[in-house]
Structure 1
């Protein structure tokens, strides 16, 4: 898995309506978690699958907590353990990624089920 933050990326959420405020279609308000696990799983699985053939953009307002959480969850989908996924994202993307305890717990309990 490679991480390529870039403004020229193709957004996995381009067909999903963006909500106003600090929300996107998947990961909820700043510092929070997705409200609907199944919706988040579908969106992240779609991003993971699309990343096999095209550049995919994962983003939030701050670019650390929710973005890092989403990236770590995608790594989990790829078979990486939750601990290693968070460590990988922090080393390769941003040391402040997955910034809250509840975001770390979300990654720890994230499964493709």
Structure 2
């Protein structure tokens, strides 16, 4: 088992189960402290190489994932790995796409989908999940397959 994130660390969201996931904007420097062991990059083009394991979801800015089935699979993997690893979810700015993905992780963790955006805005960033279609995506995201 890997040492987890510091719950008070920059961008760290604690899910109801106690899992910790860090959200981040890739245009900002890497926060101090340990590096992630697994990352999910939500970008319109392939991300730069990093020294830890990662997955790339094609997800253009202010939009939704290009492949929703792949998005569900990658987000489920991130949620599962967050139980024992340092998982980071990141897009360019760290708010819209990252907030949307974090809200989906909250749904996987048991937060009702109609409350997941509010949960992420309260515990991660007030401006998270930027567009109406991102909010709708979260409302229709379910914990079950």
Coarse TM-score class (shorter-chain normalised): 0.7 to 0.9
Show the 5 A alignment for 1:72-111. Answer: 72-111=103-142
Q: For residues 56-108 of structure 1, what are the alpha-carbon distances to aligned partners after superposition, in whole Å with 9 as ceiling and x for unaligned? A: 00000010000000000011111211232111110111000001000000000
SS at match of 2:127: coil
Please report the RMSD computed on the Cα atoms of aligned residues, expressed in angstroms: 2.1
Whose helix proportion is higher, 1 or 2? 1
Unaligned stretches of 5+ residues in structure 1? none
What's the TM-score once normalised by structure 2's chain length? Answer: 0.66
Aligned to 1:42: 73
CA distance in 2, matches of 1:35, 1:60: 14
Aligned to 1:29: 60
Q: Is the 8 A contact 1:12 1:46 kept in 2?
A: no
What's the TM-score once normalised by structure 1's chain length? Answer: 0.83
Unaligned stretches of 5+ residues in structure 2? 1-14, 24-29, 48-54
CA distance in 2, matches of 1:98, 1:72: 8
Which is greater in Rg?
A: 2
Q: How many residues align?
A: 107
User: How much does 1:27 deviate?
Assistant: 4.9
CA distance in 2, matches of 1:89, 1:27: 22
Range moving further from structure 2, 91-100 or 25-34: 25-34
